[in-house]
Amino acid sequence: MKIQCTREDLAQAMAALGRIVPSRASLPILNGCLMFTQDGMLVMQSTDLDLSLTIKIPVMVQQEGSTVVPTRYLLDLMRRLPDGEVDLNWNDLSNQLEITYNNNRSSIRLNTWSPADYPSIHPRARGNSLKIDGKMWKNIIKKVIFAAASREIRPNYAGVYFHLREGQLNLVATDTYRLSLLTLPYPIDIDPSETGFFVPTEAITEASRLVEDKDHLEITWDLKLVSFQTERFVLTSRLIDAQFPSYEKVIPGSAEMEVYADREALEACLERASLFVAPPEHFAVTELKVGDSTLCIAAQAAQVGSICEEIPVEGPIEGECVASFNTRFLLDPLKAMDQQKIKLCLNGPSGPVVYLEKGDASYLHLVLPVCRVNSPE
């Protein structure tokens, strides 16, 4: 194989491929990426056996061929080389990849693996599909992904569930303490026996990094795999083999109290409250108290101090409503929302708070309360 390409194109591709390389590879060759020429392009593939990525970049092909190169070494080298053209020449006798730059005045040699030893890449999922503009995809994902559970703590909740219904698509994520739900009107012609598919967080995050605003993203899935594809890349992942919970059952049909607040004012108050962390709890707990057309935001930590702020709210307020929550869980949805006015649906000290954007019921975020040891409840 002998090709010429730009350092920038190769560096960008290697950065994406490097994120797929497992931190602890079960096989040494998984630390590498497969390279081969095809139709005037350099095709590069990387996998951790659950997630696979294929990227194409334009190159000048002088000689066809293939090899497997150490991904992180090549990435670090590309980041440190000067801008301009680089030549890649794989020598099958020495089993090394020679990289020349500076108008062929400088060169580097990297040891490689045989392409025959590289594991098979997941094929692109075949089955149902939907298409979303790149800019829209990014806006959708930022509203739900943060509510997904950590893979290390709750692997069966570490993803986004695509729930298919007649005429709409629901994207849902939860870590069992909070839940994000985004509903999109989408005419999807699918097998009526299918209800949805559950995509790991890693695949969702990587697809969002790779896609550009101008891209047309195609999502294809079958019973085991999901693929995200544009003209530049194909990302394929195994689906989470777990039943997503019946999320509709935890969303209250009506609220004890509904008020409207300024999103930026509430976010600023909660940012300050988040600083008051009691060491045994490892996170700040904020009390929300609504009464007399105001929302009181209060937090305290024995070794730090306390904070109490009020912001005005709108709505028919009768009596009081008080509940305590993990402050970060209250903050995250505010950072993802677009509208200036938000609707808070409170449900007492033992019920969740539900966020909605004023005039837009398509996005909902729910946070369960924190049960304090010293709570009168």
Residues, the chain: 377
Give the residue from 244, 228, 225, 242 showing the smallest Cα distance to 50: 225
State the pairing for strand pair 60-63/2-6: antiparallel
Give the residue from 6, 236, 227, 23 showing the smallest Cα distance to 128: 227
Residue 191 has pLDDT above 80, yes or no: no
pLDDT bin (cut points 50, 70, 90) of residue 375 is very low
Fold type of domain 252-367: DNA Polymerase III; Chain A, domain 2 (3.10.150)
**Dihedral Cα 263, 268, 274, 276, nearest 10 deg:** -140
CATH class of 2-117: alpha beta
Fold match, 2-117 / 128-248? yes
What is the Cβ-side half-sphere exposure of residue 45, based on CA atoms within 13 angstroms? Answer: 22
For 330-342, give the DSSP string.
HHHHHHH---SEE
Rounded Cα distance between 188 and 169, Å, is: 8
Residues 6 or more apart from 359 whose CB is under 8 A from it?
339
110: phi then psi, degrees, rounded to nearest 5: -120, 135
Judge contact between 47 and 19, C-beta under 8 A. Answer: no
Helix (H) or strand (E) holding 305: strand 305-312
**At 139, is the secondary structure helix, strand, or coil?**
helix
**At 245, is the secondary structure helix, strand, or coil?**
coil
pLDDT for position 376: 39
Judge contact between 284 and 301, C-beta under 8 A. Answer: yes
Q: How do residues 243-300 score in pLDDT, each as one tens digit? A: 999 999 999 999 999 999 999 999 999 999 999 997 777 889 999 999 889 999 999 9
Q: How do residues 71-129 score in pLDDT, each as one tens digit? A: 999 999 999 999 999 999 998 888 999 999 988 889 999 999 999 999 998 889 988 88
Q: Which CATH superfamily is domain 128-248 in?
A: DNA Polymerase III, subunit A, domain 2 (3.10.150.10)
Rounded Cα distance between 222 and 194, Å, is: 10
Q: Where do the domains of the chain lie? A: 2-117, 128-248, 252-367
Helix (H) or strand (E) holding 260: strand 257-262
